[in-house]
Amino acid sequence: MRNCFCDTHSSSNTLRKYYNPNHSLSISSKKSKVFSLSDGIVSKIIKNGNSNSIVIKSDSLFFIYSNIVNIPKKIIPQQLIKKNEIIGKGSFSNKNYSIEVQIYKGIELLPDITEYIKCSYYSK
């Protein structure tokens, strides 16, 4: 998301596969488009009503984007995604669009992912 602000401790109580609120970065923006943080392959698309998750595997990391709506139909499992490619839109709430991101290295959830994501503002 562009021109965004981030919250490193999400208040969400959503129960989703792969979700860990202590290591999830909530990203909010006035703009709806969600961009991939890296080149990679779509490993999985998890549909849960209007709130979807996309798992993208890069060379050494897995990026999990949650609360995605309006995933383009062209995005399917095993598809190559380029860095900065649009992968969907954030969900709209409280006058902002928002998503949540987690990054894994192998099976280890990275506790500090702020080095991978550039936000205008961070709150903890």
* Sequence ranges of the domains in the chain: 4-13+23-111
CB 123 within 8 A of CB 7: yes
Has residue 86 got a pLDDT over 90?
Answer: yes
Q: Of 79, 98, 90, nearest to 39 (Cα)?
A: 79
Residue 81 dihedral angles phi and psi, to the nearest 5°: -115, 135
Average pLDDT over residues 63-87: 92
DSSP for residue 116 = T
pLDDT band at 122 (very low <50, low <70, confident <90, very high): very low
Domain 4-13+23-111 in CATH 3.50.50.60? no
Does the reported pTM lie above 0.85? no
Q: For residue 23, what pLDDT is reported?
A: 59
